[in-house]
Amino acid sequence: MFESLEIIILAAGKGSRMHSHLPKVLHRIGGKTLIQHVIQEAESLNPKQIHIVYGFGGDSVREATPGPYNWVRQEDLLGTGHAVMQALPFCSRDSKILILVSDIPLIRSETLKNLLNQTTDDGVGVLTAVVENPEGLGRIIRNEEGQITGIVEEKDTTFEEKLIREVNTGVIVASCQDLERLLKKVQNHNAQKEYYLTDVIGLAANEGIVIEGYCSQDSLECGGINNKIQLALAERYYQKRLIDGYMRDGLIVADPARVDVRGNLIFGENTFLDINVVVEGNVFLGNDVVVGAGCVLKDCTIKDGSVLSPYTVIEGSVIGENATLGPFARFRPGCELMENVHVGNFVEVKKSKLGKGTKSGHLSYLGDSDIGDNVNIGAGTITCNYDGANKWKTKIGNDVFVGSDTQLVAPVTVGDGVTIGAGTTVTKNIPEKQLVITRAPLKMISGWKRPEKGNKKN
Query: Which sequence positions are flagged as catalytic?
Result: 362
Integer angstrom CA distances of residue 83 from 89, 262, 326, 335: 12, 31, 53, 49
Distance CA 107, CA 118 (A): 17
Nearest Cα to Cα of residue 94 among 125, 45, 127, 49 = 49
Torsion angle, CA of 344/346/352/358, rounded to 10 degrees?
-20
Integer angstrom CA distances of residue 177 from 171, 386, 444: 18, 66, 98
Distance CA 196, CA 187 (A): 8
Helix (H) or strand (E) holding 361: strand 359-367
Nearest Cα to Cα of residue 79 among 105, 112, 107, 101 = 101
Distance CA 67, CA 38 (A): 13
Q: Which residues contact 20 (CB under 8 A, 6 or more apart)?
A: 27
Quick check: 380 and 405 in contact, CB under 8 A? yes
Question: Where are the strands (E) in 185-322, listed by range?
Answer: 211-215, 252-253, 259-267, 272-273, 277-285, 290-291, 296-298, 301-302, 307-308, 313-315, 318-319
